[in-house]
Structure 1
């Protein structure tokens, strides 16, 4: 039996995905709920790509093989729930496995039930694919929305976000979005032949190469960074301040008090400063401190602290100090060069090197 190159790529990615999903199911490292959902997501990906290869290993007629294609299509209804639950488990420490989650798997069950009536479902395939892709992208949309909400909340509570970075999750969402967009384009290409036939082969190879690289990335990244910190959104939920009794005089008092603390105490030099610690230092209640920063100053906590760090770094850069930029960013309370450069450009519209050169 001769395998095509893209089928070899597919087999390699399936092997990686099966290996790591098995590892995640049994490991005690990291967040057990996140591990379970990620393992299930990877297993779904492996099975989804495995079914089309069955015809190369088992001698069966077309009518029998079509059942495996339908099973593969049903498996597609598992991608959305698993990627959404994985996102929720990482961004909400209170997220738990409950019976209510079963309702998310009803489309998968219904799909399997209808596949029993093979002769009828064949004619509905275009409509079925539309439902499948819509189902997947609805879950991907809500996963992105949940992640954006999470980032917004941590920026209102913490002065640095590197340890909450969810690069793995961003990459997973991005890769799955790209894979499904390519898959949709491939389906459209097969129906309408928009591009020459050779481009169709290129799309197929691209799909399997991305899937293989994704499988390799997820294994090595997870083994090297097994702990992904998750916090409870409900615990750190931002106040809406509607019931606040602060008048303008009170607000100005707290602003002056806060700015005095920031100027004289320089708490922003603590790279791990969060709003609770600043509340303790300034003796301003967290709720009031959050309101003052968000409403009166017009920033989230992350940007407010970074604005003071940038002012500190600007003074160091203008002082003709022999310290290099890396030393200055650490002395200013930053933990990473990327965070420093991003914040510096945001507040000064230039890079640290350009600022030093001009001053």
Structure 2
């Protein structure tokens, strides 16, 4: 029992604490995303327990417990994907067809190991699945070779699902921009995926060090294990009980009932309202709020903005906010950038800077310096 093992035990306690808190939250609120966080946390705790057992030569009398030999990482990708689906689409429900994502894990990590029992070689059981590919002479059966290959494939499998998550995140961002003028929800979903990507990269580095280079030492086993524990902390402090912004899946504009002669009228009304009433100064303005002011169907307003201004609702509103910020700075205001951001309708400095750079090609501070020359 060394300092590293003690660290793993600490991380395990955090994982158990997470499971209890998430379980209570799920029982109380029945939010699907909490269910998938529970399952993800349970999977990570399983990995840490398995590693601790192997590291300290504890023998668990359950063959399926040592799941990484058979492909237990095949479970992590689908669970992360289901979490992203539930977080980015409030209408999504798990259907029987979605079970297909779990079939590789069920088949390779549960069913076959259960019916085959101790079918792997002694070296694979006690030294890892990749013992088949090392340089030592050995006799390898087809079953052993297949499962050692699956050990590699499970990491590729996870990488594919992380790419799926990136696509979901991109679509979520686009849908948010159709309805919201301020967006803060994407940060932690990105971090969630980035941490998993880092774990995957570190796992690949570990495999490289183990089988390609001569730099391996036992302490390097923790190169990917510790980040798994840190991922548990990320779930605990930033992902638990977070309410994600909901978006509606809008229909295609080809079937819109908005007539051409109505478009010009609504565009004129919209521009008058933006210039006279300044609704963009409300930092949590949504498209449904603006549609009520203009007295137009929300879907039709989205169509007008997309087709006439060739941009999203998010960019449409933030362009006005940037112009307001420029007006404040040109007027010689001595307020700092954060105060100007809030006064212009932004709800944080980062969004203000990003929007300013997008529409003016420079930062607010550089723009302000240019006014003083």
Q: Does the TM-score normalized on the shorter chain lie above 0.5?
A: yes
Q: Which moved more, 1:343-352 or 1:302-311?
A: 343-352
2:265 matches 1:266: no
Query: 2:301 — aligned with what?
Result: 289
Deviation at 1:215, TM superposition (A): 2.5
Cα distance in 1, alignment partners of residues 72 and 321 from structure 2: 50
- Provide the C-alpha distance between the structure 1 equivalents of 2:219 and 2:264, rounded to a whole number of angstroms: 63
Q: Is the 8 A contact 2:19 2:41 kept in 1?
A: yes
1:135 match: 157
Distance 2:325 2:237 in 1: 36
Query: Does the 8 Å CA contact 1:77/1:136 hold for their aligned counterparts?
Result: yes
Residue 76 of structure 1 corresponds to which residue in structure 2? 73
User: Partner of 1:172: helix, strand, or coil?
Assistant: helix
Given the alignment of the two structures, is residue 197 of structure 1 paired with residue 212 of structure 2, yes or no?
A: no
> What secondary structure does 2:255 align onto?
coil
Counterparts of 1:258 and 1:202, CA distance in 2: 64
Structure 2 distance, partners of 1:145, 1:130, is 24
Does the CA-based 8 Å contact 1:21-1:39 persist in structure 2? Answer: yes
CA apart distance, 1:47:
0.5
SS at match of 2:93: coil
The answer to whether 1:207 aligns with 2:229 is: no
1:313 aligns with 2:312: no
Q: Which residue in the other structure is 2:132 paired with?
A: none
Q: 2:7 aligns with which of 9, 18, 22?
A: 9
Aligned to 1:125: 147
> TM-score scaled by structure 2?
0.82
The alignment status of 1:330 with 2:345, answered yes or no, reads: no
Cα pair 1:48 1:72 within 8 Å, conserved: no
1:221 to 238, 243, 259: 238
Counterpart CA distance in 2 for 1:85 and 1:124 is: 28
Structure 1 residues 192 and 67, CA, compared in 2 at 3 Å: closer, same or farther?
farther
Establish whether residue 279 from structure 1 lines up as the match of residue 313 from structure 2: no
Q: Is 1:179 aligned to residue 199 of structure 2?
A: yes
Match status 1:303 vs 2:315: yes
Q: Distance in 1 between matches of 2:58 and 2:348?
A: 57
Shift of 1:155: 0.5
Moved more, 315-324 or 7-16: 7-16
C-alpha distance 128-306 of structure 1, shift in aligned 2 (>3 A):
same
Offset of residue 288 of structure 1: 2.3
Number of the residue aligned with 1:353? 365
CA distance in 2, matches of 1:31, 1:318: 51
State the number of aligned residues: 345
Superposed displacement of residue 83, structure 1? 0.8
Provide the C-alpha distance between the structure 2 equivalents of 1:214 and 1:60, rounded to a whole number of angstroms: 26
Unaligned ranges ≥5, structure 1: none
For residue 167 of structure 1, what is the aligned residue in structure 2? Answer: 187
The correspondence for 1:113, drawn from 111, 114, 117, is 111
Aligned partner of 2:352 in structure 1 is 340
CA distance in 2, matches of 1:237, 1:300: 14
The structure-2 alpha-carbon separation of the partners of 1:268 and 1:148, relative to structure 1 and needing over 3 Å to count, comes to same
Contact 1:76/1:132 (<8 A) preserved: yes
1:253-296 C-alpha deviation (Å, 9 max, x unpaired): 43333212211111111112111111111123222221121122
- What is the rounded CA distance, in whole Å, between the counterparts of 1:308 and 1:59 in structure 2? 64
For structure 2, the 5+ residue unaligned runs are 121-141
> What is residue 123 of structure 2 aligned with on the other side?
none
Q: Which residue of 2 aligns with 1:47?
A: 46
Distance 1:212 1:144 in 2: 23
CA distance in 1, matches of 2:69, 2:29: 30
| Offset of residue 97 of structure 1 | 4.3
For 1:29 and 1:334, the matched residues in 2 are separated by 34
* TM-score normalized by the length of structure 1: 0.85
- Deviations along 1:290-343, one digit per CA (max 9) or x if unpaired, are 112112211100011000011011101111123332222111111111111111
1:97-108 equivalences under 5 Å are 97-108=94-105
| Deviation sequence 1:5-26 (CA, Å, 0-9, x none) | 4433333322222221232112
CA drift at 1:35? 1.1
Further displaced range: 247-256 or 177-186: 247-256
